[in-house]
Amino acid sequence: MNLFKPSIEICTENILGYISQKEIMEYYLGISVDQYGMFCSPLREDENPTCTFKWIDGKLYFRDWAEEYPLDCFGVVMKIYDVNFNEAQKIIANDFKISDYVLSNKPKRKVDFRRKTDKKKSLIEVKVQPFTKENIDYLKSYRITSNICKKFNVYSPKYVWLNKKIHYVYSDDNPALCYYFGLDEEKNPKWKIYFYKNKEYRFLMNTNRINGWIQLPKSGDVLIITKALKDVMCLDLFDIPAIAMQAESQTPYDYIIKELQSRFKRIITLFDYDSAGIRRAVKINEEFNIPYYFIQDENTKDFSDYIQYYGIDKTKQLKDKILNL
């Protein structure tokens, strides 16, 4: 039965003027928005917690970290019913009988989605190209294959735009690689550009997503928390799942660690043997009883450098030492 008269406009203002985003999320997902930390997805078979809720400047998002981008309350309905935005609005309006509220002349609540941080957000857009010889030589020095690049969404940037202005054009004198991390809440791409020969300007990025997170298996014997995506990819050569934060100074949140501990039998940290790396490893060890390993070698500082300098065979020996910790 159609609950709406022609005079009733089905729109975001009429829906959210009477029904909260939280109510919509909880109605269709069947779970509480107020729960802490990660939880299993109600939209698919999910044995491990991979989802979170997050408020961003007045807007509520459901995030399944196995998917490319998060969903607002309308996006959740679009996903569940496989419909477009307008059809999702009609479903919500019908289920919550929005026409009754509108016709009753009940005052609407004020809803404001204006983002205070819009001016500070960086929009990075990339046109990729086939890997250049310079790129290939660099990746090969770490034994990183094309399959690994594909797995971890690593590309060669031909052009990079920052906030709609050209920022970088590829050259062999200043080569770069780009790492793709999906879309943000507003469907803008999240990138990290790595200028690997530029000692003064190494990175351009607009993401804080965890390196290697979406590539993790559901469970396993061991997980390595390391320094950078390059190390994550090199560990993947030995079928060792790993993650890395976007900055060396960052430490995973406690609910991230606890979720990983529920999925992997053992976790080991593998940071640089310097003051910053030691502090991070000791902090994680003290808080979560996670052991640490340091590569104490005068020629290398991390796992990827070790492969580059010593090759695969000797790195296998190092791998065994780490895993036998």
pLDDT of residue 114: 47
pLDDT of residue 125: 95
pLDDT of residue 1: 39
pTM of the model as a whole: 0.70
Tell me the HSE value of 166 on the side-chain side, using a 13 A CA sphere: 6
With beta carbons less than 8 A apart as the criterion, state whether 184 and 69 touch: yes
Residue at token pair 């090759």? 311
- Summarised one tens digit per residue, pLDDT across range 270-311 is 999 988 889 899 999 999 999 999 999 999 999 999 999 999
pLDDT of residue 111: 52
pLDDT of residue 185: 79
Residue at token pair 């770490």? 142
| Residue 115, burial from CB neighbour count under 10 angstroms (0-12, 13-18, 19+) | middle
Mean pLDDT by runs of 10 across the 325 residues of the chain is 53 85 92 76 77 86 83 94 92 85 62 45 91 98 97 97 94 96 88 90 88 94 96 97 85 87 95 89 93 95 96 96 92
Beta strand pairing call for 264-271 and 242-244 = unpaired
b/e per residue 279-300 (b: at least 16 CB within 10 A): ebbeebeeeeebebbbbeeeeb
